[in-house]
Amino acid sequence: MSNSGYHVLSELETIQYVKKIPGLFSENALLICKELGDGNLNLVFRITEKGTSGKSIIIKQALPYARVVGESWPLTLDRSRIESDALMIQNILCPGLVPKVYLYDKEMSLTIMEDLSTHINMRKGLITRNQYPHFAKHIGTFLARTLFLTSDLALEPQYKKQKVVKFINLELCKITEDLVFTDPYYDATTNQFNPLMKEVIKEIWDHAELKLEITKLKERFLTHAQALIHGDLHTGSIMVTEKDTKVIDPEFAFYGPMGFDIGNVVANLLLNFCAHEGCSLDQKERLQYQDYLLNIVEEIWTIFEKEFRALWKGNESSFYASVQGYDDDYILRLLQDTLGYAGCEMMRRVIGLAHVPDLESIDDPKLRAKGERLALAIGQQLVLRRETVWTICDLTALVRYIKNREVDED
């Protein structure tokens, strides 16, 4: 796609740009712009009006390459269309659970949206052991509604296929195909890991049964156009306050397996669980927070399943609703996919290119390796044993069992 008017904005140009857009700020407003510099792929500017109004907005502009690597990794600008379209759909399906989009500028590959500076990134919140009493309800509802209502369970098949075409996301899917399902399972140049983990990682590279299961999950990721998924739903893609939750950054959105989104949420809670193993917290505090995390995993699934079944029931005229037992079969497959994709996400965040601050913020490599070893042990078992799991409590019991097996409590 060629955007002939496209150029990368500076902070000053961003101010000039927003001033030309009617309805955002008053003509004489004094504006401050700051590029936040925390995106893997894009530029993210916050524009704030000086004075008492406190008004602010976010402008997210796609770069023609992956920012984290540089110009040697070219990327399509079309991802900004995918992101703004996905946000608008999600806002219709789950009002209030994503930032509001004010404007999408195709030419400049940018989206103007609600500023969430009152919220914090959930990953940061979990690292400091904050608790979010409404999070499970919000994210369980988000998952159920966005996944059910964009799938063949809710949409007329031909209309759904048009959506599949609209959300073809070649390059960002390729990033996931490579970084999640391929590179971590051999000695790829993109991998970067704690040298203390080398032996355990070599065992993974030699684990034929594990690689077979990862291949099945990869093939399902590539071919199972089940619903419009967020595609990168880790805890860094979620902004929270004690009362509110907003899901951000759906630039990886495409029609893929529902379990990939649910699995990413679960995996990132479990990665935080593992990271606390490596932190020098006192044992009681650590165990309490780890219990809290496992409880949220159970709660998320329970809310997800309840809402998903309610949507299924409310759609009585559909072909699928008329087939007895199909809902139970479908939901069990979702749970087992969730485990599989959660396992993949956990392993790639230890072995592959993109790590998580939960573990990376542990300075001492020995302590970090403690958490990383646990993450790899849990990740492997989630993939290998996913078809033996029938309920969400089987999953949390499996996590507790592996933790007790792997970790010597002080």
Q: Quick one: which of 288, 264, 267 has its CA closest to 276?
A: 288
Total residue count of the chain as it appears in this document: 410
Q: Pick between residue 183 and residue 213 the one whose CB is nearest to ligand SR1.
A: 183
Residue 326 Cβ vs ligand SR1, minimum distance, rounded to whole Å: 33
With CB under 5 to 8 Å by kind, the binding choice for 175 among ligand SR1, Mg ion, none is: ligand SR1
Residues near ligand SR1 (CB under 6 A): 40-41, 66, 68, 175-176, 179, 232, 354
Closest residue by beta carbon to Mg ion:
249
With CB under 5 to 8 Å by kind, the binding choice for 342 among Mg ion, ligand SR1, none is: none
Residue 157 Cβ vs ligand SR1, minimum distance, rounded to whole Å: 30
Q: Pick between residue 111 and residue 176 the one whose CB is nearest to ligand SR1.
A: 176
Residue 70 Cβ vs ligand SR1, minimum distance, rounded to whole Å: 11
DSSP letters of 119-166?
Answer: SEEHHHHHHTT---TTHHHHHHHHHHHHHHHTSTTTS-HHHHHHHHHH
Return the sign of the alpha-carbon dihedral for residues 352, 356, 361, 364: negative
**Residue 274 dihedral angles phi and psi, to the nearest 5°:** -70, -40
Query: Does residue 34 sit in helix, strand or coil?
Result: strand
Residue 272 Cβ vs ligand SR1, minimum distance, rounded to whole Å: 16
Residues near Mg ion (CB under 5 A): 249
Residue 40 Cβ vs Mg ion, minimum distance, rounded to whole Å: 6
SS (H, E, C) 336-358: HHHHHHHHHHHHHHHHCCCCCHH
Query: Hey, what's the torsion of the CAs at 75, 78, 79, 83, to 10 degrees?
Result: 170
Q: Report residue 49 CA to chain centroid gap.
A: 31
Q: Pick between residue 175 and residue 303 the one whose CB is nearest to ligand SR1.
A: 175
With CB under 5 to 8 Å by kind, the binding choice for 66 among ligand SR1, Mg ion, none is: ligand SR1
**Angle subtended at Cα 176 by Cα 173 and Cα 181, rounded to the nearest 5 degrees:** 125
Closest residue by beta carbon to ligand SR1:
354
Q: Pick between residue 49 and residue 178 the one whose CB is nearest to Mg ion.
A: 178
With CB under 5 to 8 Å by kind, the binding choice for 354 among Mg ion, ligand SR1, none is: ligand SR1
What is the C-alpha to C-alpha distance for residues 403 and 273, in angstroms, rounded to an integer? 10
Q: Pick between residue 67 and residue 106 the one whose CB is nearest to ligand SR1.
A: 67
